[in-house]
Amino acid sequence: MKELFVRGVTLPEAYHNAILELHRHGDVVTCGDWGQLQKEAAMTFVAERPLQEPMVSRLYIGGFYELQQYVMEVLDGILDFKMGEEHTWGYTYHDRLVNHNGFNQIEFIVNELKRRADSRRAVAMIRDNKADAYADDPACLQHMQFFIRGGLLHCKVLMRSNDAAEASFMNAFAFVMLQRSIADALGVGVGCYAHRANSYHAYEKDFGLLQQYADGIMGKPIDELTYEYEGFYRELMEESVPKIMEQVERLKKSTKL
């Protein structure tokens, strides 16, 4: 398996570089879990200043509503109620972060970095081998680690598997929002964001989408491929919150029927 590494100043730049590298250098291999081929590589992409504008790539499945909902899933746990035998989800990232076998890992990270700013112990484990080892849908996010260096909070993420075309930007954006939330709790700025996927892939059904993304990245200026988050896009995302919560309440009621 090839090891690929890219970086960018902004989050979209890093993500776009990862898409291009996968498109150009990924290997086409089988994916038995889904009965199709995939283009795959081990990928690390680094955004040196993830809060610098433009922050939002246009090259992902969804829009402001879906991005806001996903951020709220990760940071606020709005869909944690879907877990359990009577529901459809075996885990959520939010639950694994704040209730991993009864332990709140976010509180630990904040307290650990307050205790000692140069600590290397501010780690959140997402994988639960007891739950994930034989699950049909084990957690893709495995591990997050946070460092304060140079007065900034840096975030390192490890994914066992990451869908490049359909999921990776939304994953990274939400994790950067979590990074910002922890930095705010610590009273420090936000440093770099590093996103490592041991299997960074696009499924055969999305080969055309990957090609479309690559063509756009190579052929269009950055302002046609991105949105600025502060102001325009943030307002659209925040305006979608009431509708998101209405849908959440409908889902909660339907699960009780």
pLDDT in tens, 91-145: 999 999 999 999 999 999 999 999 999 999 999 999 999 999 999 889 999 999 9
* Mean pLDDT confidence for 185-212: 98
Q: What is the pLDDT of residue 33?
A: 84
* Mean pLDDT confidence for 77-89: 83
Please state, for a pLDDT cut of 90, what percent of the chain lies above it: 91
In total, the chain counts a number of residues equal to: 257
pLDDT in tens, 8-17: 999 999 999 9
Q: What is the pLDDT of residue 32?
A: 85
Q: What is the pLDDT of residue 87?
A: 59
**Is 42 within 8 Å of 2 (Cβ atoms)?**
yes
Whether residue 155 lies in the annotated active site: no
Q: Which residue has the tokens 């999921």?
A: 167
**Is a pLDDT exceeding 90 seen at residue 45?**
yes
E strands in the chain: 3-8, 27-31, 36-47, 56-57, 123-125, 141-149, 152-159, 162-163, 189-203, 226-227
pLDDT in tens, 219-257: 999 999 999 999 889 999 999 999 999 999 999 888 764
The residue annotated as part of the active site, out of 31, 140, 155, 192, is 140
Q: What is the pLDDT of residue 257?
A: 47
Side chain identity at 117, as an amino acid letter?
A
Q: What's the whole-number average pLDDT of the chain?
A: 96
Q: How confident is the model at residue 4 (pLDDT cuts 50, 70, 90)?
A: very high
Superfamily of 3-256 according to CATH? Thymidylate synthase/dCMP hydroxymethylase domain (3.30.572.10)
* Mean pLDDT confidence for 195-201: 98
Q: How confident is the model at residue 188 (pLDDT cuts 50, 70, 90)?
A: very high
The two structure tokens encoding residue 249:
């309440």
**Quick one: CA torsion of 221, 225, 230, 231, rounded to 10 degrees?**
90
Please state, for a pLDDT cut of 70, what percent of the chain lies above it: 98
* Mean pLDDT confidence for 67-88: 89
Q: What is the pTM of this model?
A: 0.96
Q: How confident is the model at residue 184 (pLDDT cuts 50, 70, 90)?
A: very high
